[in-house]
Amino acid sequence: MTAELLNGREIAKDYRAGLASEVEKLKENGITPNLTVVIAGNDGASLSYVRSKNKAAEKIGMTSDIVHLGEDVTEAEVLEVLDRLNNDDNVNGILVQVPLPEQVSEDKVLEAIAPHKDVDGFSPVNIGRLYTGQRTFVPCTPLGIMELLKHTGSLEGKDVAVIGRSHIVGQPVAKLLTDQNATVTLMHSRTKDMVGKLSAYDVIISAVGSPGLIKAEHLKDGAVVIDVGNTMVDGKLSGDVDFDAAKEKASWITPVPGGVGPLTITMVLNNTLLAAKWHNGIE
């Protein structure tokens, strides 16, 4: 058996074409969605990622702005910028690139973003809405994972292992999977014999940043493998899964890079579109 490749770039391309069509319809009615990204400092990887979001938004017809603050910016200055953006009707989505400089509290910043503009879905209000089944912005990487899984068939009744319990990926994706009637086990660094248990699962989602953690022998025959790992090793991005070996045992598998990443950016655009629609009373 050789696994089918879950090509995130191709899936994202098709999804973004649909978003572009919806953006065009909004623009015909005088509404142009705007994504504004706030970044502090000059980290090369963060700057590159922000520019890629900006370019992706503009490519589907949105407007996109970058507010670039210095490494020595104060917390008060960041909060002042967010207050201005919260009150700017031309801004639909606000995204703050992390990590932030050490003098700026990430928690305070996330709490300061107006929930109706929090397209990352990280604010306490939106996280609470997700867990109580209310309309909200779903965090982008979990939403992208769910889009990838649509291509593998129904999740109902499947046994799923989610490795990593962060509030950014692991916990919200476990909630989304449960909503699709999967049975989910949330694993983490304190789970006993974690990789030894994986052969019992139909779907494995790994988001821990531990290159080569999961080998082919850890997988059930025909398992679906979603690799969210994203670690630089010898100048190359590496996932949590030994891809070359695992693809000979899995039924579906994501590559790194080119798997989950393109869908994460796509879902930022998706949430920005939703923000523009909801602001204008469009369901």
Q: Which residues contact 153 (CB under 8 A, 6 or more apart)?
A: none
Instruction: Tell me whether strands 203-206 and 159-163 are parallel, antiparallel or unpaired.
Output: parallel
Residue 81's Cα: distance from chain center in Å? Answer: 24
What sign results for the dihedral spanned by CA atoms 73, 74, 80, 83? positive
Residue of 117, 118, 120, 227 marked active site? 120
117 given a catalytic annotation: no
Residue of 13, 25, 27, 53 marked active site? 53
103 given a catalytic annotation: no
Closest by Cα among 22, 61, 21, 54 to 38: 54
53 given a catalytic annotation: yes
* Token digits of residue 215: 């080998």
Residue of 14, 27, 72, 97 marked active site? 97
Q: Which residue type occupies 132?
A: T
Alpha carbon distance 226, 211 (integer Å): 14
DSSP-assigned letters across all residues of 213-238 = -B-GGGSPTT-EEEE---EEETTEEE
Catalytic residues: 53, 97, 120
